[in-house]
C-alpha cells in the first residue's frame, strides 16, 4: 500500500504550531521566530516533507518563473546569453521560460501581454528593441522588465545590461591599423531591419570613425550588407575579394559572418591571415575553435548580470533603473597579421 504523502498540516501538528506558521517558515518569512523556524524545518526533514510546487506558488503569490523574450534563439549569441541567465536561475527557486521571437508580430504579442499577465514574475528582453508604443506598459506594468543588449533611447529609463558596440568597432579598427592595414573592408547585417536592431550599424560606425581619425576611408565596393548568416557573408566576401583590387583585412559584425569570410577566402585561394586578415565580433565558442581574432562582447556575462538585476527587481522594484555597462574586449588569435607589403 502506497505511503500517504506528508502535508503541511502534518508538519504543523508535529511541530506544535499553526499551519500558517509552518507555511511562513517554509517560505522564509522573517516574522517566524528563528528557533521556531529551525524546529519546523527539522520536522519537515524528519517527516520527509516535499512541498507541492503549485501550493508553494500559491502561498507566495508568485509563479516562480522568469520569462526570457529572445530574438532568433538558434543563433549562438542568444544561446550563450541564455547560458548566463540559466547559471543564475539554477541557484534560485525560479524556473526559466523562453519565448523565441522570429517575427515582428510575435515580438509585439509577447511584449504586449507577458509584462501584464500572471504568467511570469519577471521578464528579460534580450537583444530585442521594443516598439515605442509598448514602453509605457512595460515600464509601469506589474511585472519587472530588464533589457539585455538593447540600445534604443526608449529603454533609457528601464533596468538594462548594455555593451558598447561602437567602442567594439573602434577596437577592431585600431587593431587592424596597428598591424599596418589601410585597405579594410566591412561586412554586416542588412540596413533595412524590421526589428530595429542597432548592433551591426553601431559596430560599423565605430569602425569607420576610428579609421577616419587615421585618415583611412572604406571604398563603397568594400562595404557589404546582407542577411545575417555565414553563407550570406561568404557571398558578399566573394564579390569583395574578386575585384582587381581587394582589401587586406575585413571586419565583420559577428563571428558567424567572419566564418563566412574565411570560407570565401579559402575558396578563392587566399590564405588567412597571410593574404587576408579577418576579425569578427562576439567571441562565440566556434571563434576559439578556429582561432578567430574577435571582439568579445561578454555574452555569458551579460546574461548572468541581467538575471541578477531581474531577481533584485522581483524582490524590490528599484526607484532608479539599474544600468550595468559591459566593455568590449579585443581577443587576438590567429586570423589577423600585418599585410604582406608591411612585413620585413
- DSSP calls for 22-47: HHHHHTT-TTS-HHHHHHHHHHHHHH
Residues 175-219 have pLDDT tens digits of: 999 999 999 999 999 998 899 999 999 999 999 999 999 999 999
From 65, 53, 9, select the one nearest 27 (Cα to Cα): 53
* CA separation for the pair 287, 251 (Å, rounded): 14
Q: What pLDDT, on the 0 to 100 scale, is given for residue 62?
A: 63
Phi, psi of 18 (to 5 degrees): -75, 160
DSSP character for 115? G
pTM for the model: 0.82
Indicate the pLDDT class of residue 344, thresholds 50, 70 and 90: very low
- Other CB atoms within 10 Å distance of the CB of residue 103: 11
Q: Return mean pLDDT, the chain.
A: 90
Angle between the 8-15 and 34-47 helix axes, to the nearest 10 degrees? 120
Q: What pLDDT, on the 0 to 100 scale, is given for residue 343?
A: 40
Q: Cell 533609457 belongs to which residue?
A: 156
Identify which of 12-21, 86-95, 103-112, 247-256 has the greatest average pLDDT: 247-256
Higher pLDDT, residue 15 or 261:
261
Higher pLDDT, residue 94 or 190:
190
Q: What pLDDT, on the 0 to 100 scale, is given for residue 130?
A: 94
Amino acid at each position: 500500500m502506497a505511503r500517504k504523502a506528508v502535508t503541511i498540516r502534518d508538519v504543523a501538528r508535529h511541530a506544535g504550531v499553526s499551519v500558517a506558521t509552518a507555511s511562513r517558515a517554509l517560505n522564509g518569512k522573517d516574522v517566524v521566530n528563528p528557533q521556531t523556524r529551525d524546529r519546523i524545518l527539522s520536522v519537515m526533514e524528519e517527516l520527509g516533507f516535499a512541498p507541492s510546487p503549485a501550493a508553494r506558488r500559491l502561498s507566495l503569490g508568485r509563479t516562480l518563473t522568469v520569462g526570457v523574450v529572445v530574438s532568433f534563439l538558434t543563433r549562438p549569441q542568444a544561446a550563450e546569453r541564455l547560458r548566463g541567465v540559466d547559471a543564475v536561475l539554477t541557484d534560485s527557486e525560479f524556473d526559466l521560460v523562453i519565448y523565441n521571437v522570429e517575427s515582428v508580430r510575435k515580438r509585439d504579442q509577447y511584449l504586449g501581454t507577458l509584462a501584464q499577465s500572471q504568467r511570469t514574475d519577471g521578464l528579460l528582453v534580450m537583444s530585442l528593441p521594443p516598439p515605442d508604443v509598448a514602453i509605457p506598459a512595460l515600464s509601469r506594468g506589474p511585472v519587472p522588465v530588464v533589457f539585455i543588449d538593447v540600445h534604443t533611447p526608449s529603454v533609457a529609463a528601464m533596468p538594462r545590461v548594455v555593451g558598447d558596440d561602437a567602442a567594439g568597432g573602434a577596437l577592431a579598427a585600431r587593431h587592424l591599423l596597428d598591424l599596418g592595414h589601410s585597405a579594410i573592408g566591412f561586412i554586416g547585417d542588412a540596413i533595412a531591419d524590421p526589428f530595429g536592431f542597432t548592433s551591426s550599424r553601431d559596430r560599423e560606425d565605430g569602425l569607420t570613425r576610428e579609421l577616419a581619425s587615421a585618415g583611412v576611408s572604406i571604398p563603397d565596393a568594400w562595404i557589404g550588407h546582407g542577411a545575417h548568416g555565414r553563407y550570406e557573408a561568404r557571398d558578399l566576401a566573394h564579390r569583395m575579394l574578386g575585384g582587381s583590387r581587394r582589401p587586406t583585412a575585413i571586419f565583420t559584425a559577428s563571428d558567424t559572418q567572419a566564418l563566412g569570410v574565411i570560407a570565401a577566402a579559402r575558396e578563392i585561394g587566399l590564405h588567412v591571415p597571410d593574404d587576408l586578415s579577418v576579425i569578427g565580433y562576439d567571441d562565440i565558442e566556434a571563434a576559439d575553435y578556429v582561432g578567430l581574432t574577435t571582439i568579445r562582447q561578454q555574452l555569458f556575462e551579460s546574461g548572468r548580470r541581467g538575471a541578477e538585476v531581474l531577481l533584485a527587481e522581483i524582490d524590490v522594484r528599484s526607484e532608479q533603473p539599474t544600468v550595468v555597462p559591459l566593455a568590449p574586449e579585443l581577443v587576438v588569435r590567429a586570423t589577423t597579421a600585418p599585410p604582406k607589403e608591411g612585413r620585413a
